Amino acid sequence: MANLERAALVRPVGEVSGGRGRLATLYEPDPTAGYVVGVDIGRAWVRCAVADLAGAVAHRQDVPNRARSAAGLVDTVTRVAREVVERAGMTWTQVVHTLIGSPGVFNPRSGRLLFASNLPGWGRSGLLQDLRQALGASVDVENDANLAAVGEGAFGAGVGVPTFCFLTVGTGVGMGIVVDGRLYRGARGAAGEVAFLPVGADGTPGAPPPSDPGLSRRGMLEAATAADAVVRTARALGMGGARSSQAVFEAARRGDPTALRAVELEGERLALVVGSVAAVIDPELVVLGGGIGRNLDLLQAPLTRRLHEVTPLRPHVVVSRLGDDAVLRGAIAVALDVARDLVFERRAGSV
């Protein structure tokens, strides 16, 4: 224990008496032995937080994502991450590991991020090298839906649920899968890329035509259920003021019949996702998140009705408890697993 204290890996927190003999000193792991940075990159926002080794967030910041190129986004992430650490009263040398959540699947062989169509240029080669050059060698990139599933399993609706899925529906569509308490990535890291499920081009108002050449790049299911699809559906039904998916859901809450029909179609399409996943994964729970998914109060009835029509496999569907923080909390949780080992190796080896 003395060696661990000299290495600043543990610290005394008090003393206790066993009745006879000397007092025993109580120790705890020193949470200030290092820090982690979590980043959530979305089409509209970049969210960042720094936390100690106990997971306590020291500072966080959310900024609009105005980058229109990969280089611009690397600059934004670097600037925000360093500002967060500085405003927490630390230096970047105290950061042990940085974990970046992003749409897409990182391919370690090619060094490219695949399927990140909503972030211009983000799939180019050399991206991870640029991030490591800007932020240090200990930087990893993970799929945002995977991190949201980790966050929800550690802090949200998935606590205590061994097998569940996190379905995020917003600018894009993705899924994180937890099986027996462990994140499941698949053979090439693409498990949960439900955007490419071949469902949704069903001829209903606003649905993508099966002949659309962009479907192979974006995915049929995403083209049918993401935020722009909600707007397209509402307009196809005659809702001229449908400027955003948020406006459609707000109108539905006011009782607008056209908006309610657009939301109904969205719920029915999402039921096909839940039913497909239930047949393969058999999750106990499906957690809905993202800008669209958080509207489960409106989506629940059509989703449940359609699910009962198409399958006897009906996992419980709930809304995310973490909301916009799901990816960020997951990024911190995964970064901590890496950082704790790194801190112990570095400091224990010095005594």
Q: Tell me: the pLDDT tens digits for 12-27?
A: 666 666 656 566 666 5
Asked if 34-146+326-348 and 159-320 have one fold, the answer is: yes
The total number of residues shown for the chain amounts to: 351
Residue whose structure tokens are 């994502």: 65
**pLDDT for residue 68 is more than 70:** yes
More confident residue, 42 or 347: 42
Name the CATH code of domain 34-146+326-348 (choices 3.20.20.140, 3.40.50.300, 3.10.129.10, 3.30.420.40).
3.30.420.40
To which H or E segment does residue 64 belong? Answer: strand 57-64
| Lowest-pLDDT choice from 49-58, 323-332, 340-349 | 340-349
Q: pLDDT category, 4, cuts 50, 70, 90?
A: low
What integer is the mean pLDDT of 245-268? 97
CA distance 254 to 257: 9
The chain-wide mean pLDDT, for the chain, equals 90
pLDDT score recorded for residue 8 = 59
Q: pLDDT category, 313, cuts 50, 70, 90?
A: very high
More confident residue, 105 or 58: 58
What integer is the mean pLDDT of 252-281? 97
**pLDDT for residue 114 is more than 70:** yes
**pLDDT for residue 5 is more than 60:** no
pLDDT score recorded for residue 137 = 84
Please give the single-letter amino acid code of residue 191: A
pLDDT score recorded for residue 298 = 98
More confident residue, 272 or 120: 272
The answer to whether 139 and 131 are in contact (CB under 8 A) is yes
What integer is the mean pLDDT of 237-254? 94
Q: pLDDT category, 32, cuts 50, 70, 90?
A: confident
Q: Is 238 exposed, middle or buried (0-12, 13-18, 19+ CB in 10 A)?
A: exposed
Q: DSSP secondary structure string, 130-158?
A: HHHHHH-S-EEEEEHHHHHHHHHHHHSTT
**Which pTM was predicted?**
0.88
Model confidence pLDDT, tens digit, residues 141-194: 999 999 999 999 999 999 999 999 999 999 999 999 999 999 999 988 899 999
pLDDT score recorded for residue 349 = 56
More confident residue, 201 or 296: 296
- The fold for domain 159-320 equals Nucleotidyltransferase; domain 5 (3.30.420)
The answer to whether 110 and 129 are in contact (CB under 8 A) is no
| Lowest-pLDDT choice from 26-30, 93-97, 120-124, 275-279 | 26-30
**pLDDT for residue 238 is more than 90:** yes
Q: Give me the residues paired with residue 28 across strands.
A: 11
CA distance 143 to 40: 10
Sign of the alpha-carbon dihedral angle for 53, 59, 61, 67: negative
pLDDT score recorded for residue 193 = 94
Residue percentage of the chain with pLDDT more than 90: 70
Please give the single-letter amino acid code of residue 140: D
Q: What residue ranges do the domains of the chain occupy? A: 2-31, 34-146+326-348, 159-320
The rounded radius of gyration (Å) of the Cα atoms in the chain is: 23
**pLDDT for residue 96 is more than 90:** yes
The answer to whether 255 and 266 are in contact (CB under 8 A) is no
